[in-house]
Every structure is written in C-alpha cells, then in structure tokens.
Amino acid sequence: MTTDAHATAPDLATTSPFLRACRGLEPSHTPVWFMRQAGRSLPEYLAIREGVPMLESCFRTDMVVEITMQPVRRHGVDAAIFFSDIVVPLKAIGVDLDIVPGTGPVVADPIRSEGQLASLRDLEPDDVTSITDAVRGLVQELGSTPLIGFAGAPFTLASYLVEGGPSRDHRRTKELMYGQPDLWHALLGRIAAIAGQFLRLQVEAGASAIQLFDSWAGALSPADYDTYVRPHSAAVLESVADLDVPRIHFGVGTGELLTRMGDVGADVVGVDWRVPLDDAIRRLGPDKAVQGNLDPTLLFAPTDLVHRRAAEVIEAGRAAKGHVFNLGHGVLPATDPDALTRLVEFIHTYERTA
C-alpha cells in the first residue's frame, strides 16, 4: 500500500509506544488509551454535540476531527480512537437506522428473510468521503500520536439488524442463527465484507491500527461462537491483514471465548475487567499482546486505590508479548475527566518496583 497518509508510517511504528506494544516490541513506557475516551465524560464533547444527533456528528468531518482530538489534548493518551459508531457503515450504505438517545441503534426494518440481504451492498469509498477526509485531517493533527480505526464485528452488527435494536437475550438473533443457518451465514458474510471494507478505507486514509468490537459476543457459548461467528470475525481481520497494521479484537463478557478470539487473526486481544489479566495471558499464550483491563467503575474510587489497581494491571501485563493499558470496557459518562488524566500520568511515570 502506498498512500501519502502513510508516508511517515515506518517512523511512527518505530517510535510510538502504543504501536510498539501492539507488535510485541519494548515501548518507552506502558502505553494507554481508553475505549470511549472521546465522548460523554468530557464537557467539551457535550458542548460540541449539543443539538446535533449522534449519527449526524459521525458524518461531519470537522466534528469528527475535533471530538477525536479532545481526549488526546486533555489526557495525553498514547493513541486516538476515531470518533464514530459501529453502525456508521450500515447507515452509509442506506440501512434505515438511527441512534436513539437512551436506547441505542434502532433499525426500521429488521432483517428476518433472505430477500432483505440485498440491502447490505458493498461499502464504496464515496459512501464515507466525509469520514475518510476526517481520518486524513486527524493524521495531520495527531502527528506522532497514532490513530485507531474501528468497526463492529459481524455478530454484534447482526444482532442489531435482526433484533431491530439492543437486546438483553438476543432471542431473535439466536432464533435465526439456529433455525436458518444458511441465512445466518449469508448475513454475517455480508456484514463481514462491509466491516472489512470500512476498516480498509480507514487504514488507507491514515489509521495506524484497527480494532474490531464484538460487544455482544459474550452472549454465546464457545461451541456456538465456533460454529456461527468465529469464521466471520476471522474473515474481517484477514481482509486487512495485507495492510500491515496492528489488529485488536475486543469483546465484552468474553472470558470463556478468549482463546478463540485470540485465534481469529488479531495481534492484540482486548480483555474486559471480569478476567484477571494474568489469567487472560495464560489462556491466550505467549504469542499475543493484550489490552486492558481496569474496571471502568474503579475510576470513581479514591485515587490511591485506582493507582494501586492500575499498577497491578501493569505488572500482570509484563507477562504478555506486549501490553496496552486500557479499561475493561468504555469510559462511563459520569467519569471525572481529571481521574483519567491522573491515571494517564501515573501509568506514564510508573516504574516497576519489584
């Protein structure tokens, strides 16, 4: 791949603590970024988003750039995560959906039949021009700080499309999965192609790493994950393997799936807070870098306890091929931004005492 956006990529790959840790190289310090760091915990985010619907903000180049930059300026994190939403590529190809405040993504015409698959066409560059323009603008502003692109994994996006919105039990999703396996695999195959196309466009515009989010995979048994999901998640990650950027895979409540998620093609496996990081590293083996995994609610605890627990995570992470510090899920909206800033400072200055 040869794009202007990546003209300085080799230097960034060599110097960025985040990218070095992802590749299993020794970083100058433990790198840190936070899922949902660009979002509702920041007053400057709330100010710029006032009166602007979520999906509209994801397609406005200037707003995407500003919101993505906000936590980098405030916290000094080692990577920026592109401000977007996992349903953005679906919206871009014409799926009738909206993000309803207090609810989440809502799909007007849930997919329940084979004839509806035609609505899931390929994602073309012209569908997301404003988004790739934002990536290019961010790469220029970020300089030595890498940008992470991302997409939703096939199972999670399929659940929204089939259920019509968020679900506690994923009943309709599993009903289709078990009862119409051919349709299920056709659906996930289409979603995997779209997710891969979205990731590729972000990297070609300048993103230095990607993350594949599987928010709902924890609802699956290991056997069902292997049969119905794993091949499609692997297809997404394989579709961008030639781009030579670190690939991160993260799921919520996926402790029993960790070894499987580690085998689908990711370089880095995100670990949520339910599994001790040292245990996760044993499950994944010595060839995987890890990301995580402080409980997001610990940020509401006294600072000394937050830092003590953070030190435990850092120490546990030393057993992995590489370790990127993060929370075990996203920053909660009520989090004090200063707690995040203090945590970043602590991680950057932490020295091993043992």
The per-residue pLDDT for 13 is 82
Q: Is the dihedral of CA 66, 332, 164, 184 positive or negative?
A: positive
The answer to whether residue 78 is catalytic is no
**169: number of Cβ within 10 Å:** 9
Which residue is catalytic, options 60, 85, 172, 282?
Answer: 85
**Along the 354 residues of the chain, how does pLDDT read in single tens digits?**
334 455 445 588 889 999 999 999 999 999 999 999 999 999 999 999 999 999 999 999 999 999 999 999 999 999 999 999 999 999 999 999 999 998 999 999 999 999 999 999 999 999 999 999 999 999 999 999 999 999 999 999 999 999 999 999 999 999 999 999 999 999 999 999 999 999 999 999 999 999 999 999 999 999 999 999 999 999 999 999 999 999 999 999 999 999 999 999 999 999 999 999 999 999 999 899 999 999 999 999 999 999 999 999 999 999 999 999 999 999 999 999 999 999 999 999 997 644
Q: Would you give the DSSP letter of residue 25?
A: P
The per-residue pLDDT for 299 is 98
Tell me whether residue 154 is in a domain: yes
Which residue is catalytic, options 40, 112, 121, 136?
Answer: 40
CB 262 within 8 A of CB 284: yes
The Cα–Cα gap between 245 and 65 comes to 21
The answer to whether residue 40 is catalytic is yes
CB 161 within 8 A of CB 110: yes
Nearest 5°: the CA angle 96, 41, 164 is 20
**Buried-state track 170-193, b at ≥16 Cβ within 10 A, e below 16:** bebbbebbeeeeebbeebbbbbbb
Tell me whether residue 354 is in a domain: no
The answer to whether residue 109 is catalytic is no
The answer to whether residue 352 is catalytic is no
Domain tally, the chain: 1
Nearest to 90 by CA among 115, 113, 109: 109
Tell me whether residue 130 is in a domain: yes
Nearest to 32 by CA among 289, 299, 297, 324: 324
Whole-structure pTM value? 0.95
DSSP 232-261: HHHHHHHHTGGG---EEEEESS-GGGHHHH
CB 235 within 8 A of CB 189: yes
Which residue is catalytic, options 23, 36, 247, 283?
Answer: 36
The answer to whether residue 318 is catalytic is no
At 269, which CATH number?
A: 3.20.20.210
Domain encompassing residue 207: 4-349
Give the rounded percent of residues in the chain with a pLDDT score beyond 70.
96
The per-residue pLDDT for 182 is 97
CB 41 within 8 A of CB 341: no
Which residue is catalytic, options 78, 127, 160, 247?
Answer: 160
Contacts of 312 (CB under 8 A, 6+ apart): none
For residue 287, count CB atoms less than 10 angstroms from its CB and return exposed for 0-12, middle for 13-18, buried for 19 or more.
exposed
CB 288 within 8 A of CB 23: no
